[in-house]
Amino acid sequence: MNQSVQQFKADFFKALAHPMRIRILELLSEGNKNVNELQSILGSEGSAVSQQLAVLRSKNVVQGMKEGTTVTYSLRDPLIKDLLVVAKQIFDNHLVDAISMLEDMRKDS
């Protein structure tokens, strides 16, 4: 595989490597939002939300559109929503495997 594609993937996944950034992406998957809306939903300080948005923006994961004095954020690529759904499905599969293993251990006890 082309090294530039691998570097893009590494940078992309680094941008996703924070729980608040994942949550922001989940919220933006539901529709565009500004910092105040995100801050309110997340129950977090605006500076923390802005900092995480800056990381996502720098990696071209989200984009901001200025409307007057407000910047509204959106996903740069709608496929990010699909990626989040797949990540949740992978989590669920791991959870099912863990539960199954625990049930097997309980039966053996």
| pLDDT above 80 for 99 | no
pLDDT at 69: 93
Which residues pair with residue 70 across a beta bridge? 67
Determine the average pLDDT of the residues in 96-100: 74
The angle formed by the CA atoms of residues 77, 80 and 25, to the nearest 5 degrees, is: 105
pLDDT at 103: 77
CATH number at residue 21: 1.10.10.10
pLDDT at 105: 78
Range of the domain at 35: 3-108
pTM for the whole thing?
0.82
How many domains does the chain contain in total? 1
48-88, pLDDT tens digit by residue?
999 999 999 999 999 999 989 999 999 999 999 999 999 99
Least Cα distance to 49 among 68, 61, 31, 35 occurs for: 35
